Structure 1
Amino acid sequence: MNSPLALQHGLSGDVKSLDTLRARASQDPRAAVKEAARQFEAVFMQELIKSMRATTMKSGFTDNAGSDMGTDLLDQQYATTLAGLPGGLADMIARQLERNMGLSSTPVRPSAPGPVASRPLPTALAAPRVAGPQGEFLREHWDAAQIASRETGIPEHFILAQAAHESGWGRREIRNADGTSSHNVFGIKATGGWQGKVAEVTTTEYVNGQPRKMVQKFRAYDSLQEAYRDYARLIKNNQRYARVIEQGHTAQGFAQGLQDAGYATDPAYADKLTRVINTTLRLQRATS
Structure 2
Amino acid sequence: MKSTDPGFINDLANLDRLRAGIKGKGDKENLRAAAEQFEALFTQMLFKSMRQANEVFESDLMSSSNTKFFEEMRDQQMSSELSARGSLGLADLIVEQLAALDKPPATPEAQAKAEEEKAANFEALQKSRQVSANDVLAKVFAQQETEQPSKDKATLAASATAATENSVVLPPLRQPKDKPFASPQDFVSRMRPFAEKAAGLLGTDPAVLIAQAALETGWGKKVVRNAAGDSNNLFNIKADQRWAGNKVATQTLEYHDGIPVQERAAFRSYNSYEDSFNDYVRFLNDNPRYADALASPEDPRRFIRNLHKAGYATDPKYADKIINVMDTVRKLMK
TM-score for both structures, normalised by structure 1: 0.51
Match among 149, 152, 156 for residue 199 of structure 2: 149
1:138 maps to which of 188, 203, 209 = 188
- In the alignment, what sits opposite 2:309? 260
Question: What does 1:169-188 correspond to in 2, within 5 Å?
Answer: 169-178=219-228, 180-188=229-237
Aligned partner of 2:322 among 259, 268, 273: 273
Alignment map for 1:56-205 (pairs within 5 Å): 133-178=183-228, 180-205=229-254
**CA shift for structure 1 position 259:** 1.0
Q: Is the 8 A contact 1:251 1:277 kept in 2?
A: no
Task: Look up the match of 1:228.
Answer: 277
Per the TM alignment, residue 192 of structure 1 is displaced from its structure 2 partner at its CA by 4.9
In 1, the alpha carbon distance for the partners of 2:297 and 2:259 equals 28
- Distance in 1 (alpha carbons) for counterparts of 2:259 and 2:274: 34
Give, in angstroms, the shift of residue 132 of structure 1. 6.1
Contact in 2 for aligned 1:182/1:220 (Cα 8 Å): yes
Alpha-carbon distance between aligned partners in 1 of 2:331 and 2:202, rounded to the nearest angstrom: 23
What is the CA–CA distance in structure 1 between the aligned matches of 2:330 and 2:315, rounded to whole Å? 23
Task: State the aligned residue count.
Answer: 154
Q: Secondary structure at the match of 1:264?
A: coil
Determine if the alignment matches structure 1 residue 247 to structure 2 residue 299: no
Shift of residue 279 of structure 1? 1.5
Structure 1 gaps of 5+ residues are: 1-130
Alpha-carbon offset, residue 237 of structure 1: 2.6
Match of 1:212 among 258, 261, 276: 261
Distance 2:268 2:294 in 1: 22
One-letter code of the match for 2:315? D
Describe the superposition over 1:266-288 as per-residue Cα deviations: whole angstroms up to 9, x where unpaired. 0111111111112111223xxx4
Distance in 1, Cα, partners of 2:194 & 2:288: 23
Distance 1:134 1:161, change over 3 A: same
Per chain length, whose mean CA-contact separation is higher, i.e. which structure has more relative contact order (CA < 8 Å, sep 6+)?
Answer: 1
Displacement of 1:171 in angstroms is 1.5
Query: Tell me, what secondary structure is at the counterpart of 1:150?
Result: helix
SS of 1:273's equivalent in the other structure is helix
2:166 counterpart residue number: none
Asked if the contact 1:154–1:249 (Cα under 8 Å) also holds between the matched residues in 2, the reply is yes
Q: CA deviation at 1:238?
A: 1.6
CA distance in 2, matches of 1:143, 1:283: 14
Q: Which amino acid aligns with 1:195?
A: A
CA offset at residue 185 of structure 1?
0.8
Name the counterpart of 1:62: none
- Mark the runs of 5 or more structure 2 residues left unpaired by the alignment: 1-180
Structure with higher Rg: it is 2
Per-residue deviation at 1:194?
A: 0.4
1:103 counterpart residue number: none
Mapped to 2, the partners of 1:198 and 1:264 lie a distance apart of 19
Distance of 1:225 and 1:162 partners within structure 2: 15
CA change 1:280–1:239 in 2 (3 A) is same
Which consecutive segments of 4 or more residues in structure 1 shift more than 6 A? none
**What TM-score do the two structures reach when normalised by structure 2?**
0.44
Check 1:192–1:252 CA distance in 2 against 1; reply closer, same or farther (3 A cut). farther
What SS does the corresponding residue of 2:306 show, helix, strand or coil?
helix
Greater CA drift, 190-199 or 148-157: 148-157
Q: For residues 146 and 243 of structure 1, what CA distance do their matches in structure 2 show?
A: 21
User: How far off its partner does 1:250 sit?
Assistant: 2.2
Does structure 1 retain, via aligned residues, the 8 Å contact 2:202–2:297?
no
**Pairwise CA distance, 1:251:** 3.1
Q: Which residue of 1 aligns with 2:54?
A: none
Distance of 2:199 and 2:319 partners within structure 1: 20
